[in-house]
Amino acid sequence: MEDLPAGNRISILMDGANLYKSANERKVRLDYPLLRSRLAGHRTLVSALYFGSYKRDPLDSAEASRDEAFQAAVLEGGFG
């Protein structure tokens, strides 16, 4: 990565549906804090947003638990 002037700022907008689909197809586990850090690099991070599509209600409690765990991982990774 090239060296950038110190005053650069960045906002990260993450297309969650495509990112999740691609990672799932490749059987890659995403490390959201590392991803955010690598994307920001040496720039000042202004915001990091993860957006996705509408999802239907979970079919059962196991699916609801997976959804909650996924949302927690995204939020803990610094994405709003």
**Mean pLDDT of residues grouped by 10 in the chain (80 residues)?**
71 89 92 93 91 76 83 83
Query: Which residues have a Cβ under 8 Å from the Cβ of 39 and sit 6 or more positions away?
Result: 10, 12
pLDDT score for 46: 92
Q: What is the pLDDT of residue 61?
A: 86
Helices (H) and strands (E) in the chain, counts: 3, 2
Q: What is the pLDDT of residue 3?
A: 66
Determine the Cα angle at 14 with ends 11 and 17, to 5°.
165
pLDDT of 4 reads: 58
